[in-house]
Structure 1
Amino acid sequence: MEFLSNILYFVIVIGILVIVHEFGHFIAAKLSGIRVDAFSIGMGPRLFGFNKVNGFTFGKLPDDFELNGFCDYRVCLLPIGGYVKIAGMIDESLDKSFINTPPKEYEFRSKGTLAKLFVITAGVIMNFLLAVLIFSIISFSEGKVVWKTNKIGYVQNNSVAESIGLKPGDVILSINNKTVDNWNDIITRLSLDKFGATKKITILRGSDTLTLSVDGDKIVKSIAKGNMNLGLTPEKFYVFVRDVETLAPAGKLGLKSGDTLLAINNEKIDAFDELTYLLSLKKSKPILLQWKRGNQILADSVVPTADGKLGFYPGFHFAGRKDTLYYGVFEALGNGVKETIRSTELFFSSIAQIFKGNISAKESIGGPIMIAKSASQQASLGVVYFLNFIALLSVTLAIINILPLPALDGGHLIIILIEGIIRKELPVKAKLIIQNIGIGLIVLLMIFVIFNDVSRLIK
């Protein structure tokens, strides 16, 4: 079932991203007076479609069929993305039918440099606009829930936070001389702002004001391991039971959905990291677990599994003050633009950290299998998480597509600029060779990322 779910969400995500991208090329070509022969949802053989010559039809169009300048809007067999076929353009279809004919006024190759640049960058622009739209919708519909505390409740063992000297009870006053009064800003400024840069943290400990420093490389390595909060948990943060495995220790004990975990062997649980740490010390050994159900405080002995698990799915609850900020349309749009810019900056910063060796390329580069798995996971968390995932992936697709590599939009962009400078078209055969090289490189990259995906799943 999980496999089918992964495939479904992969098809949805890739379908949305690619169709939006190709629609950008389509609209730009139409606005530039360039003929578009086909706009397809899906790849492979044509299942059905519509054009103004013979209306709605099923199956493949005859080889000698003439569209007379109209576009065939089609749905194809493989529900993976889509494509747009632009007349007179050397693309991944490697169409050579026009090589020995002079450029026609409706063809891509007959247009000026600006028109070509518009058409070739329109897909990337649409992906950025999609990200802005999604981030804006989330901001407008959901607002922003702010945890109004800057006091630390728990510091994870062997974490970045512990290594720099942060302790439970510390109040974080500022980060890089910018005042913080809520937990959202603390995590954002520590982890994401100026990604990879050293951060200066000013705290209040008792009556003393201290300034601590954390190396940017440490932050990056922590995030790369999945620890976005650097080992910090705010005060008034509780772990509750979301679901229970009936035959696991938690199920046999009688834990129920909604129960809040309080302590293990009288040691208070202030974070999920603390829970897992305490359980790891008592593998297959009896512990006294205390939990809260409604207004009742319950306690009983239970034996964790050999790998230190109780067998429940955790949830997290902040019991402190929470403010919800709501945004108007234009404020939300501004937030969407800011979040898209932040995502773009984070992408380039992450690439820089890969080259610095702080992030493993093997662990951070994902292919279709990891995209499918992540899409399914985000969808299980809710619509907002799923939409946010699509927006982030849309930014990634836009950036990758504009890289100056053969077969990508960025490769076409370089060729267009060269032709604009030398004021003549490069030989079509040369373009075909470049395109073939690009496709070959992409195939090799896909083999690598799929192999990498499989290796990570096995691991």
Structure 2
Amino acid sequence: MSGLIMAAQLLLGLSILVILHELGHFLAARAFGIKVEKFYLFFDAWGVKLFSIKRGDCEYGIGWLPLGGYVKIAGMIDESMDTEQMKQPAQPWEFRSKPAWQRLIVMLGGVIVNIVVGILIFWMLTFKYGESFIPNSTVAGINPGVIGKEIGLKQGDKVVAVNGKKVIRFDELISSQVLLGNTNLTVIREGKALDIKVPDNILNKVSDLGIEEFISRMPLVSTTLDSIPETMPAYKAGVRKGDKVLAVNGQPVKYDVDVKRIVKQNKAKPVTFDIMRGGEQLSLTVPVDTAGTIGVYFNHVNELREQTIHYGLFESLPIGINQAWKVFSDNGKGIWKVLTGKIHANKAFSGPVEIARKVYGGEWIWARFWASTGFISIALAFMNLLPIPALDGGHVVFLIIEMIKGKPLGDKFMERAQIVGFVLLLSLMVFVLGNDIFKAIMQ
């Protein structure tokens, strides 16, 4: 069922964004009197379509190949590769008859809409839900995984600064600023400050092992117990809310994860809990079930004290803009890391399977759905701006060259560039899809 939910969210999110992206091109073209012949969600490859309707001089429809969508603009060499039309004399309502600056706006229309949509989503989410975070000042320490320990982090370290800037929110420790590498963490360990370097290529390992193997999203808390269901083994053994666990099977414990680790190591066996209750030390024998649990919950809520900041409508706008810019700039930094060899391409790029699994997830939570769709909207804007023929960015580059030269590039050149662009994009699609499937199988 979760797989269907992932697929449905991906399909809905991408459909919304593709329609809005193409609407940007459509409206810009119509504003300059350019004829738009087709407006399609998905591709009607080889003329096969699921639905179509003609309104005025434009055909609207849904194709069968779910790899995006397109608008066919008259007098333009695009994905339709309609070279016959280009052999005819230019008409005043065609793309090629318009000034270069108008054509540039038409080509940027989709990207502009994606950016506006992303900002709008982040703006409205901030206005409705505010910003919730765990203050770093309330955190007892971090719980690093294999990757974190490799670079020198230890359980209980308190990270107080990133590149010299004070950490206010705990989730800053797993932000893109840190994960993109070449970052300096200032750590307090046993009362002393020390610096730990996050290497440039850290994202390669995080991609393989997951973020929890760098720094766990959940900070450490003490061993003081909170709720204990009466039906669970711990309650039946006499463990109660407010008890502080001092040791398990004679091993001293300081944090919640220490208790969980030892209990899990003793599946289907009894363990001894040394606890402190109201100034009195007790020893209790607790049976562990076959899953390695005893049914206790630690005092995360009171110890971590999550905060939520609410904003007014206009206060939320700059926060939404900042979130959109962060996504856009992070994509740029990630591409640069790939180009410079710091991050492997198979670790950096994700396709539809990975987006469905890791961005949308297996539960339909509307806040998460819209946050994920906003993220993808900005990512699509960035990808479409890449100077690759067949993408908007490729057309933009050719138009800028034309504006500098004072005359358009030849039709033959544009046709060949479009073919090269298609081959590149198809190769990239095959790569990311294969990479997605490999990751899904390996995980």
The verdict on a shared fold, with TM-score over 0.5 as the criterion, is yes
Measured at CA, do residues 353 and 271 of structure 1 come closer, stay the same or move farther in structure 2, by a change above 3 Å? farther
Alignment of 1:132-171 (within 5 A): 132-150=119-137, 151-156=139-144, 158-160=146-148, 163-164=151-152, 168=156
Residues 1:21 and 2:6 are matched in the alignment: no
Measured at CA, do residues 147 and 447 of structure 1 come closer, stay the same or move farther in structure 2, by a change above 3 Å? closer
Corresponding residue number in structure 1 for 2:80 = 93
Residues 1:411 and 2:394 are matched in the alignment: yes
**Mapped partners of 2:274, 2:342: distance in 1:** 40
Determine if contact 2:123/2:317 at 8 Å carries over to the other structure.
yes
Structure 2 stretches of 5 or more lacking a match?
A: 236-240, 276-282
Amino acid at match of 2:357: K
2:219 equivalent among 229, 234, 239: 234
**Mapped partners of 1:358, 1:315: distance in 2:** 40
Amino acid at match of 1:302: V
Residues 1:12 and 2:16 are matched in the alignment: no
SS where residue 286 of structure 2 aligns?
strand
Alpha-carbon offset, residue 286 of structure 1: 5.5
Determine if contact 1:238/1:269 at 8 Å carries over to the other structure.
yes
Determine if contact 1:17/1:81 at 8 Å carries over to the other structure.
no
Alpha-carbon offset, residue 304 of structure 1: 4.6
Corresponding residue number in structure 2 for 1:130 = 117
Amino acid at match of 2:396: L
Q: Among the aligned pairs, what percent are the same residue?
A: 29
**Mapped partners of 2:375, 2:429: distance in 1:** 20
Corresponding residue number in structure 1 for 2:409 = 426
Superposition RMSD in Å = 4.0
Alpha-carbon offset, residue 355 of structure 1: 4.4
Determine if contact 1:239/1:261 at 8 Å carries over to the other structure.
yes
**Mapped partners of 1:165, 1:193: distance in 2:** 14
Residues 1:336 and 2:340 are matched in the alignment: no
Partner deviation per Cα, 1:250-288 (whole Å, 9 max, x = no partner): x99699xxx99986647658466x577546755776656
**Mapped partners of 2:128, 2:337: distance in 1:** 34
SS where residue 125 of structure 2 aligns?
helix
Alpha-carbon offset, residue 166 of structure 1: 5.2
Corresponding residue number in structure 2 for 1:203 = 188
1:121 equivalent among 108, 111, 115: 108
Partner deviation per Cα, 1:305-358 (whole Å, 9 max, x = no partner): 6xxx6599x999442333321111222110111111111222222233334555
**Mapped partners of 1:165, 1:346: distance in 2:** 25
Amino acid at match of 1:300: V
Alignment of 1:394-409 (within 5 A): 394-409=377-392
SS where residue 152 of structure 1 aligns?
coil
Count of residues in correspondence between the two structures:
416
**Mapped partners of 1:163, 1:419: distance in 2:** 50
Residues 1:49 and 2:53 are matched in the alignment: yes
**Mapped partners of 1:260, 1:23: distance in 2:** 58
Residues 1:103 and 2:86 are matched in the alignment: no
1:192 equivalent among 167, 177, 181: 177
SS where residue 98 of structure 1 aligns?
helix
Q: Which has the higher helix share?
A: 2
Alpha-carbon offset, residue 15 of structure 1: 0.5
Determine if contact 2:42/2:65 at 8 Å carries over to the other structure.
yes
Q: Normalising to structure 1: TM-score of the pair?
A: 0.76
Determine if contact 1:15/1:79 at 8 Å carries over to the other structure.
no
SS where residue 355 of structure 2 aligns?
helix
